[in-house]
Structure formats: C-alpha cells, structure tokens
Amino acid sequence: MIREGDRPTESTVLIEGFAGRYNVLRNGKRQITALHVPGDFTDLHSFLLKTMDHSVLAITPCTIGMVPHETLHDIFENHPHLARLLAVSLAVDAAIHRHWMVAVGRRSALEHAAHLLCALFVRLQVVGLTEGYRFRLPLTQAELGDTLGLSAVHVNRVVQDLRKENLITWRGEMVTIEDWPRLQQLADFDPTFLSLQNEPR
C-alpha cells in the first residue's frame, strides 16, 4: 500500500480489511508497529511529514479510500470542527503507539499478547466488527510474531498459554474472548487511551 521513502500526495482511509504499519531492518527482519482496522487512516501523518519513514502492507484484501492532501489542507484551513476530529485521530494513533512501545519494552510476551487482543477487540467493537466477544483476526503466526517481536515458536507458546488459562479460543481466523475481565486484568488494559468517549471536540 505504501513504501518507506514514498512521498504520497494522498492519505489512505481503510474501509474494509486489515493493514499493518512496519519497518524492515538491515538484516531483513520486519517489525510491525501498528495494526489498522476499518475506519483508520493508515497515513494521515503523511500530510504533515511528507516523506514516509515506514511502510504499510495489506494483511488481507482491503478496500481503501484516498483523500488528497489538498483536501486535508482545505479542511485544516477552513473547517475547524473537522480539523479537530482529524487531530484527535492523530492523537489516538500516537497514544496507541505509546502503549505499543510500553508493551514491547516492559510487558511479558503473555501480557503483550493479551493487551494486543484487548485493544483490537475494543477497536473492532466500535466499528461493528465483533459478535459478542468474538472477532476475526486474520494474522498468520509469522505476522503475529512480527507484531509482538517474537519468534513463531514463542508466539505459538503464548497462544497456547492463553488457551490453557481459558482466556481465549482461537480457531482459524476467529478469536473468542472467553473471560474478558481476566484478560483485561492480565493485560493491565484500560481503554481510556483509545479516546472512545463521545465528548465535545
């Protein structure tokens, strides 16, 4: 979808599907630094930063919308309410990234995986893509490993531990959270950072 070093003239809105923001190291290893769900701008910041310092891949077939940077410039200049909403989107994206960094640096692999599942569940719930505590997560073990910073073997072990604790069921692409309070507790998950409250902007 986007490559590091690109200078896009449009920003991308994800309408359907899953996408991931990532960087590739010199040794070829990949780190996924964000997962995008429907409703997300994958690169709103490109309007401000111009040159991309990361890439974005389509994890599944995606439907996208493109918003020209000229349109975004007009919104920021002439439509203050819409500009505030876009600023909130940028702020939430930054908050998600901060929590991601805390998870990578200070949480155990099990806690990090639990936090990821909690955050994805809440974000997908907001856009109507959950059924009860069940949601689609179309990540391969390799992609999940690149997201959590773990080997495929370690990822498999972590998922098995979550299953053994009766916290989740994971069949194919479908994840069911079996004990939401306990999963939240394990992850030390507080959804406040996602700014989901319907407050005046």
For residue 200, pLDDT beyond 50? no
What average pLDDT does range 109-119 have in this prediction? 94
CATH topology of domain 109-201: Arc Repressor Mutant, subunit A (1.10.10)
User: What's residue 47's pLDDT?
Assistant: 85
CATH 1.10.10.10 in the chain, residue ranges: 109-201
| 197 band by pLDDT with thresholds 50, 70 and 90 | low
For residue 191, pLDDT beyond 90? no
CATH topology of domain 1-78: Jelly Rolls (2.60.120)
CATH 2.60.120.10 in the chain, residue ranges: 1-78
Task: Give 92-96 contacts, CB < 8 A, sequence gap 24+.
Answer: 92/193, 92/194, 92/195, 93/34, 93/40, 93/41, 93/44, 93/45, 95/193, 95/194, 95/195, 96/34, 96/193, 96/194
The structure's pTM equals: 0.88
pLDDT one-digit tens code per residue, 39-86: 999 998 888 887 888 899 999 999 999 999 999 999 999 999 999 989
